[in-house]
Amino acid sequence: MKAILLAGGQGTRLRPLTLNTPKPVVPIFDRPFLTYQIDLVKQVPEIDEVVLSLNYQPEAIEAVFGDGSALGTRLRYVVEPEPLGTAGGIKFASRGLDGPIVVFNGDVLTSIDLGAVIRLHRERQARATIVLTPVENPSAFGLVETDGRQNIKRFLEKPKREEITTNRINAGIYVLESDTFDRIPDGVPWSIERKYFPSLIERGETFLAFDYQGYWIDIGTPQKYLQVHHDILTGRFPAAPFREQPAPRACVSPRARIDAGATVESPCFIDDDVVVEAGARIAPLSVVGRGARIEAGAVVDGSIIWPDCVVGPGATVSGSIVGRHCRLGAHTVVEGGAVLGDRTSLTDFTRV
């Protein structure tokens, strides 16, 4: 059995972070994001190959993951010649494959029991099975209606309040029979949500929903990217590097230098070769990447600092994200969900 991870998007909602770093390798703590999806797929022993469907900066992604041996799996790369949409990308990546295929959208983080989804698909001899997850504000999403036997009836695209009949949305995780891909034209952008899925309903094919109530998040915006770090730090989502660690969680590399007089508060993450100078403070829910330097009197509070940054003396970073190789001058203030791209340089006393 094979799995396809749709990782070809340009990560536009995460810009400027993704201008130099493709979304699949955006770090979650010290691990590329896609590593978490691969870990999930590996829980199903019969999946013997993961196909990465790429389009944006594919060489950068392959340079990180290689052939997958370091992750304990086999990876194969398929690069779309041009963006083909969700269904078009699946068909392009599935060439030469047969039988059921597991498909993941490339920006989903979840703890779902993938084996249970596959079992439901097989027990009901479905042509397609998709995972649904509930949301608090149904009017902001496309919704999926089902009957009492988990059969999908219809899709509602961002309905008006009076039209809402369910709070469940497509979670971006599918089991699809490869012989249904003949309805997807070759080399043409094609939507799985608007064209492929409706074709299953129109033909009366067995099209199932797997209801999932557990942790699920789309990391595709800076707010959600911050949130997933906070969720792992607080234990809401058990994942590396905190899976086995009881609260309050703090992961401070033995290769980091924490000077006397510096303050480090849990939960937090401090990577290799970080320097936290005397008088600096790492407040809760903060992540400091490899090789960063937090200088005297600086404060990092509920923020993510990517590798090789310098936060100058007396500077404050609060509730924000700072890309690689940034230089924040003395007494700068970065707050309120600000996002700084790689190599940003702020002069002393700047406010962002």
**The pLDDT of residue 218:** 87
CA gyration radius, the chain:
22
- Tell me which fold the domain 248-346 belongs to: UDP N-Acetylglucosamine Acyltransferase; domain 1 (2.160.10)
**The pLDDT of residue 318:** 97
Tokens of 39: 């870990």
Nearest partner of 344 among 17, 79, 83, judged by Cα:
17
Catalytic residue set: 158
**What predicted TM-score, i.e. pTM, was given to this entire model?**
0.89
Distance CA(3)–CA(1), nearest Å, equals 7
Q: What does each of the 352 residues of the chain score in pLDDT, given as a tens digit?
A: 999 998 877 778 888 998 888 888 899 999 999 999 998 999 899 999 999 998 888 888 888 888 888 888 899 999 988 888 889 989 999 988 888 999 998 888 998 999 999 999 999 999 999 999 988 877 666 788 888 889 999 887 766 676 677 888 888 899 999 999 989 988 888 988 888 999 999 999 999 999 999 999 988 899 999 999 999 998 888 877 776 666 667 889 999 999 999 999 999 999 999 999 999 999 999 999 999 999 999 999 999 999 999 999 999 999 999 999 999 999 999 999 999 999 999 999 999 9
Tokens of 90: 């699946």
Distance CA(194)–CA(294), nearest Å, equals 48
**The pLDDT of residue 146:** 87
Exposed/middle/buried for 19, CB within 10 Å: 0-12, 13-18, 19+?
middle
**The pLDDT of residue 248:** 62
Distance CA(237)–CA(215), nearest Å, equals 7
Domain ranges of the chain: 2-218, 248-346
Which amino acid does the sequence have at 173?
I
**The pLDDT of residue 290:** 96
Nearest partner of 263 among 244, 238, 291, 286, judged by Cα:
286
Determine what percent of the chain falls in helix, strand and coil, rounding each to the nearest 5.
25, 30, 45
Q: Are 305 and 323 in contact (CB under 8 A)?
A: no
89 CB-near residues (< 8 Å, 6+ apart): 6, 8, 53, 55, 80, 83
**The pLDDT of residue 165:** 77
CATH of span 2-218 = 3.90.550.10
**The pLDDT of residue 184:** 92
**The pLDDT of residue 159:** 66
**The pLDDT of residue 263:** 95
Around 35, how many Cα atoms within 13 Å sit in the side-chain half-sphere?
19
**The pLDDT of residue 189:** 87
